[in-house]
Amino acid sequence: MGLLDTISGPRDLRRLSDDELETLASEIRDRLIASCAPVGGHLGPNLGVVELTMAIHRVFDSPRDRVVWDTGHQAYVHKMVTGRAREFDRLRVEGGLSGYPSQAESPHDVVENSHASTALSYADGLAKAYAIRGEDRHVVAVIGDGALTGGMAWEALNNIAVANRSRLVIVVNDNGRSYTPTVGGLTTALTTLRTSPRYEQVLDVIKRRLNAVPGVGPAAYDALHAMKKGVKDAVAPQGLFEDLGLKYVGPVDGHDRAATEHALAQAKKFNGPVIVHAITRKGFGYDAAERHEADQFHQVGPFDPDSGEQDPKGTIWTNAFTDEIVRIGQRRKDVVAITAAMMHPVGLHQFQARFPERTFDVGIAEQHAATSAAGLAMGGLHPVVAIYATFLNRAFDQVLMDCALHRCGVTFVLDRAGVTGDDGASHNGMWDMSILQVVPGLRLAAPRDATRVRELLNEAVDVEDAPTVLRFPKGQPPEDIPAVDRVGRVDVLVRNGVKDVIVVAVGAMAETAVDVADRLVAQGIGVTVVDPRWVKPVDPALVELAREHRLVVSIEDNGETGGCGAVLLQTLNAAGVTTPFRLHAIPQEFLGHAKRGRILERIGLTPQAIALGIVEDVTAVTQPDAARARLDAERTV
């Protein structure tokens, strides 16, 4: 048994010698690599915070002192030293450890935080609460330089700076990257701090030399110390933080545990908010991660732990967007691209390489991305904003009031829509089609395959008088599903037998719907499967198709409340269509982490479950007396 398996909590770290702590750090890195190799995960960020995490837990007393991680993907080491190291063989596996902090797992996990730039606000509230209640407790917020590019972090800092009673230590984990190198003015400022001589070192040299001068030396030093802010600005310009009124400590080498502990201990003594600036390297200690140019294994798929070679991913939905946006850029010089610190994950890297002057990475600032896009549109360009579906939630007001109200031609491309699985509740893109339904004038497309990604993207960027949205899921797309007909703008995918059932398949659920149709035909039920392509607004042709059938079934990879099916039902009711309706969607709940297939099975979004329900519904519609008798018999039993 190694040292790591003897750690049941942070207090165990305080009994270890320096040599034992060095051994423990090595064991933690080995465990991180071994645990992530089979299933993937956020390896790079955690390799970079091993010593930093150990130092935090040796200086502060968690869970009495609260440690908040921003974002939670750098909390694997925290989980290990809080007694969960032996469970890492089931990291990000259904029933095993979450890839993010989880209140259900441990009292050491404060918030289930995986949307960036929020930790400082949580920490501000916690620290104020403890001050008001008179509790002797510290709050530590660990935030990366990438997350500091988010506006919410600066809103929090603005308030923390005047919270003089808050015993709050902000640890800036500065590795120069979020997914990829951090961008913007903040980066320049942090680089200045990172590369300047440390104020404390310079001042210590001056102190020793002046105090050695007989008579006038000590007095000269005191006078100089009184001007310490001027000296500090000259040798290590911390004005970025200190001008806000925040005490600044650092920069410190975050891989030097002893130096980091000293800096944290100094910060702990200060009865007010303090920033500790720690310099780290993502992927530290694992050559394959440090050499990986794209993202230092920020989020890696399964890989060989010895070579670092990743398993091939194959073609994914994002690839179709990556290729097509470059083609569009070549054809249209007015098309520009925006992303929020996710150039490679959303597939804009090739557009950036081809058109660097027309590509903008705004950092973790989705709100700014949306409103800046509105400005670009007002200036005669057509912006394409590519982000994960789950992160669009953060920019809803900007989509509504800044883009739609002003009828701006902005295209939003939402990657990882629907059930994403392994990353848990915060990353499932199951909210976008519901929240976007309330935006007047907005047009929403959901492609069913890679060819439709290209087709609908071209249609979207041709719209200049309203925002458009294109959304597609994570993973590999199905084989192309050809249409047998088109009615209005609606593609007919299956038309077999009499008009018993029309199945409205939204986006990626088209493959499931075609499978459902095969099962229904085998039961002697006539079925039509349609793909609306543009799900908002509802095509009038879809209303008439629904009127012609005995049962309408909608299937979508989105929350059932306020989604495409719910709006379709409202539309049918308003048009006087009385055809019975059945909606299949994601229940409005936070879904635990598991593989996408397992989640879809649990919530009933599989061909077998849907087909079974339709057979029962068709029986109820076509043979109401028999269905009623069966129900009565079931109730009797």
Query: 322-333: per-residue pLDDT in tens?
Result: 999 999 999 999
Which residue in the list 27, 366, 459, 556 is annotated as catalytic? 366
Residues 32/89, Cβ–Cβ less than 8 Å: no
Does 205 have pLDDT greater than 80? no
Looking at the chain, the whole-number percentage of residues with pLDDT higher than 90 is 60
Q: pLDDT, tens digit, for every residue of 2-35?
A: 899 999 999 999 999 999 999 999 999 999 989 8
Beta strands, E only, 314-395: 335-339, 359-361, 382-388
Asked if residues 536 and 565 have their Cβ atoms less than 8 Å apart, the reply is no
The string of pLDDT tens digits covering residues 34-61 is 988 888 888 888 899 999 999 999 999 9
Q: What pLDDT, in 10s, does the model give residues 576-619?
A: 999 999 999 999 988 888 888 889 989 999 999 999 999 998 98
Q: Choose the catalytic residue: 282, 416, 452, 596.
A: 282
Residue 194 reports pLDDT greater than 80: no
* Dihedral sign (CA 543, 545, 548, 553): negative
Please tell me whether residue 473 adopts helix, strand or coil conformation: strand
Confidence at residue 358, expressed as pLDDT on a 0 to 100 scale: 97
The pLDDT score that the predictor gives to residue 235 is 39
Is 582 a known active-site residue?
no
Contact in structure between 351 and 345 (CB atoms under 8 Å): no
- Ranges 139-143, 267-271, 290-294, 425-429: which has the least confidence: 290-294
For the question of residue 479 being annotated catalytic, the response is no
Stretch among 73-87, 168-182, 211-225, 430-444 having the lowest mean pLDDT: 211-225
Inter-residue contact 444 to 433 (CB < 8 Å)? yes
pLDDT at 493: 98
- Asked whether the predicted pLDDT for residue 233 surpasses 80, the reply is no
Lowest-confidence region among 72-76, 472-476, 484-488: 72-76
Catalytic residue (one of 29, 58, 358, 394): 394
* Reduced 3-state DSSP string for 144-190: ECCHHHCHHHHHHHHHHCCCCCCCEEEEEEECCECCCECCCHHHHHH
Cα–Cα distance between 42 and 283 in angstroms, integer? 10
pLDDT score, position 185? 52
Residue 179 has pLDDT above 50, yes or no: no
Tell me what pLDDT residue 178 has.
47
Is 487 in a helix, a strand, or coil?
strand
Place of tokens 């297939």: 597
- Average pLDDT across the chain, whole number: 86
488-545 pLDDT tens trace: 999 999 999 999 999 999 999 999 999 999 999 999 999 999 999 999 999 999 999 9
pLDDT at 296 over 70: no
Give the DSSP H/E element, type plus range, for residue 201. helix 199-211
- 343: Cβ contacts below 8 Å, ≥ 6 apart: 179, 180, 349, 352, 359, 361
- The region of weakest confidence among 86-95, 157-166, 224-233, 240-249 is 224-233
pLDDT at 379 over 80: yes
Share of the chain above pLDDT 70, in %: 86
Q: Return d(Cα 558, Cα 452) in angstroms, integer.
A: 19
Residue 188 has what pLDDT?
52
Q: Residues 263-276, buried b or exposed e (16+ Cβ, 10 A)?
A: bbebbbeeebbbbb
Annotation marks residue 282 as catalytic: yes
